[in-house]
Chain A
Amino acid sequence: MGQRDLAGDRPRCGSCGGRGGVIDGLPTMSDADSTDEFEPVQVFETTDMDLRPGSDDCYKCSTCDTSCPVAEVDDEFPGPKFQGPEQWRLKRKEGHAVDDSITGCSNCMRCDDACPSSVPLSQMHNTARGEYVESQRFGRETLAALRRGKPREALEIVDEGRQGLVERVRNRILANYRTSAWFASKMPRLANRAMNFGPARWLMEKTLGVTSEREFPAFAEQTFREWWAERGGAHVENPEQRVAYFHGCYSNFNTTEVGKAMVRVYEAFGYEVLVPPQQCSGTPMFANGMLDDARRHAETNVANLAAAIDGGADVIASCTSCSMALRQEYPELFDLDGIESVAAHTYEALEYLRLHEDLEGALAEADVDAGEFAYHAPCHARNQGLDRQAIELFADLDGATVEDVGDSCSGISGTYGWKEEKYDYSMAIGEEMFEHMDAADGETGMTECPTCAMQMEHGTGYEIRHPLELLEEALV
């Protein structure tokens, strides 16, 4: 049945000739207008990331603005409609750089879900943030001002640049969590103490703007990969059923029990688990406009995951931001061999089992002694259509109840809530979730996203579990 591909509304990377982006070097106006005879006038200069068709789809209904959790609490933030299509037009004009309010966007991607016109808002925000960070150079501008005989202006540029530089260094440290985590994992106990050492945290806040309000997550004594090597890799060999696990940084360095649960559950269903070499998914880098860093990591991930796919595996992620990056952000932002294949073969861990196994049947027969959970659906699960999955799945499980705490954003959004200047907004966004968790019967939280878990714990003091851990308890 040859059906029309509605997803084709979404522009892809222009340079690879993706659907809806560029046809023969010319931007397409809309589906209805793209015929062979029709040659639209080339009003705007096209770049390799031509977002004009998506921008033109915006009819300014403002639904994205009303779904933006940042705009809800921060009156200074102009919202996704401005950051996306409006800014896209503005910055095409001489003298209009990307507005610095773009750094307020937390990359929750709720605007994507809200837009009735499929305007690629998060893609526009990611590219604008990338441009903004890229444009934060000050050496050349300072010299130019000096040459023009304007020392005062040169000083101003240096001063602005210095402030920008601190922010940039801070963002870079936060975004490259994998690097810090790798160091910390070498001496986890010392790192756990040092990272939450009061005076050090005060210094980090004063010099770098990393809030001292939060507890740094504990590093595991043994990383997931170390555990994996120690157990001798996969315990099940099965060329017919194979999954490549994208564990991400967090279940490797911090919540290794999530990764272990994933392995045990999948092996119980007879799957062979591969753990290919991998880097950070790039999510914190997208959110901080560091597209070059993200691309570097994506190159490794795509190459290794595509190779696993060629070997008959599908890709599984236990973190919903990681699966979001592999599924959507990669093909939107990068043009790499195998990237479409990785996007099409990546699944969230529970989702995959639901599709391929009788998970509901297995859970209906199981019983656990787990109690009550207050479940929060991460924004990036929501955007993949997975926000009600855990509630639905565990509805018939004896011995556990999982209660949805509503559709608000947790507010931390990865690195956003770690920034000193964003901390209060982050907590204001999370307020609704904290209240709902408090009102729910359970005293244990549940979510798929490691940073949402951090925020849930921070705001309520609850212990937070991953659905895979409950699945392990029920089935293994």
Chain B
Amino acid sequence: MAIEDDVCVVGGGLAGMTSAIRAARKGARVRLVSHKKSTLRHASGLVDVLGYTPDGELVAEPFDALSALPEGHPYRRVGTDAVRAGLDLFDQVAGDAYRGNHTDTNALVPTHGGTVKPTARYPQSVAAGLASRSEETLFVGFETLTAFDAPLAADHLAAAGVPSRTRGVTVDFPGEFRADSRVTRFARALDENETIETTDGPTTARRALAAAVEPHLDGAGRVGFPAILGEDEPSAVRTALETRLGVEAFEVPMGPPSLPGLRLEELFDAALDEWGVRRTTGNPVVDFEADGGRIRAVYVDRNGQRTPFHADQFVLATGGLVGKGIDSDRTGVVEPVFDCHVPHPGDRYEWFADEAFGDHPFARFGVAVDDDLRPLDAGGGVEYGNLRAAGGVLGGADFAAEKSGSGISLATGHAAGRAAGEAV
């Protein structure tokens, strides 16, 4: 009885949403079951394919580097065409809000820590800040926004050898805000262009912000702000600042909660609605029902109560160690929803390297899959005929070091969703 769909996707991050949209485009009736708000609001909003090789070398042309990845890497499983198809799907969802699809070459985006991140797609709001450009750059931080130290970030970028002069300045965000105001509070003030009280009388938020920055411009060709320039109206906010300052303005991606991530989440939500993907959010999937090597239903839990969701095909997209799709205790590493096998050394002292930034085996922990992305058991056999895995739950990639997380989610989400949709 009860709730039945063709395809059930477990996990609401980039991989889950991509596979749900892809399966729905195949004509399947799709349900997305997720526990919490999408992890996209924790993400920078940058979409990487491959920024570094497993040996730590910077990658300029990610597509040329894919074939050199080790056997078992998710990109090797799905192939270059799936990576391109995943990015195509992303470009359709993101539309004008994103740039980078004009080239296969990685763009270099300055981050809030003052590093340079190689990435394949970046929000429109970030475009003017690319580190490869040569105009002198002024970074602006705010006294109360401690997560972005603009002078420090500018110094880091200078030390990294970017081709432009960089300067950083810390100013007061104009107006009477709490000392610990949220980034969304500033974004809303700019979205709505709220009236701000200043010593010279009332003015509007965008005008006041431009006025606070203007005296520090001193010939800079562009100005970088932490990513707080509006949630709903980022382009209008940026344009207003550019008009007043007479130079280009851009955002520097920040940590969570991330406005570029929130904006991307909204784009994907709209795409899920457009494709009729049914969504159930708020409870964790904790159990399942199987029959003869096939999953029949997954169960979500609410204080001991179990609600089943039946489907013909399932996609596991619960994320990695951080997303809690992979979990560990002192005795071993597990995939908690379907209890799929996660290859790892028996001795937990072999799970990590001694150096903090060493080559940690745990970073690559995840389920092993066949070429159809079906998780494999300890003996190399398929765990369940109608279960596929996508995104961070897959083993074989250190996406934090490689800068490959979003690309893997898009490519494997696309492949898993297409296969699930075709199998219905």
Contacts and interface: CB of A to CB of B under 8 A. Distances in A.
A424 to B, nearest CB: 16
Interface in A336-354: 340, 343-347, 351, 354
Interface stretch (A58-66, A135-143, A454-462): A58-66
Interface stretch (A4-12, A150-158, A217-225): A4-12
B354 interface: no
Contacts of A50: none
Which one of A1, A116, A382 has the highest number of Cβ atoms from chain B below 10 Å of its Cβ? A116
B39 A388 contact: no
Contacts of B2: 354-356
A7 B1 contact: no
Interface stretch (B94-102, B179-187, B233-241, B413-421): B179-187
Nearest to B256: A61
A346 B305 contact: yes
Nearest to A7: B301
B184 A66 contact: yes
Interface string B336-350: 110100000000000
B182 A65 contact: yes
Interface string B275-286: 000111111111
Q: What is the interface residue range for chain B against chain A? A: 35 or more
Given A7-B301, A385-B280, A392-B278, A357 B257 contact: no
B329 A31 contact: yes
Interface in A301-348: 327-328, 331, 340, 343-347
Contact of A62 (B36, B257, B337, B339): B257
Interface stretch (A71-79, A279-287, A292-300): A71-79
A243 to B, nearest CB: 15
Contacts of B301: 5-7
B42 interface: yes
B302 interface: yes
Nearest to B331: A35
A41 interface: no
B327 interface: yes
Given A116-B42, A356-B1, A5 B286 contact: yes
Contact of B303 (A32, A75, A344): A344
A31 B283 CA distance: 20
Contacts of A76: 178
A63 B256 contact: yes
Contact of A385 (B180, B282, B336): B282
B39 A116 contact: yes
A32 B328 contact: yes
B160 interface: no
A114 B184 CA distance: 15
A464 B339 CA distance: 45
Interface string B245-283: 000000000011100001000000000000000111111
A345 B1 CA distance: 18
Contacts of B280: 385, 388
A113 interface: yes
Interface in A36-56: none
A155 B278 CA distance: 61
A432 to B, nearest CB: 11
B278 A113 contact: no
Given A72-B188, A355-B307, A356-B1, A6 B324 contact: yes
B288 A6 contact: no
A421 to B, nearest CB: 19
Interface residues of A, number: 49
Nearest to B181: A75
Given A61-B42, A383-B282, A385-B283, A355 B305 contact: no
Contacts of B337: 3
Interface in B2-33: 2-3
A192 interface: no
B28 to A, nearest CB: 16
A75 B175 CA distance: 12
Interface in B276-310: 278-290, 300-305, 307-308
A296 B423 CA distance: 54
Given A4-B327, A384-B282, A357 B1 contact: yes
B41 interface: yes
Contacts of B41: 63, 66
A347 B327 CA distance: 30
A62 B178 CA distance: 15
B308 A355 contact: yes
A355 B182 contact: no
A222 B134 CA distance: 77
A354 B288 contact: no
Given A385-B283, A388-B279, A75 B178 contact: yes
B182 A7 contact: no
Contacts of A355: 1-3, 307-308
18 contacts: A1-B287, A4-B286, A4-B327, A32-B329, A63-B41, A65-B184, A66-B182, A79-B182, A113-B281, A113-B282, A114-B37, A116-B39, A327-B303, A351-B307, A355-B2, A358-B1, A382-B281, A385-B307
Given A6-B301, A327-B302, A388-B279, 14 more contacts: A6-B286, A32-B330, A63-B256, A66-B41, A72-B185, A72-B188, A79-B182, A113-B36, A344-B305, A347-B305, A355-B2, A356-B1, A382-B282, A392-B278
Interface of B: 1-3, 35-37, 39, 41-42, 177-178, 180-185, 188, 255-257, 262, 278-290, 300-305, 307-308, 324, 327-330, 334, 336-337, 339
7 A-B pairs with the lowest CB-CB distances in the bound complex, closest first: A385-B282, A344-B304, A6-B284, A343-B303, A4-B336, A61-B256, A7-B301
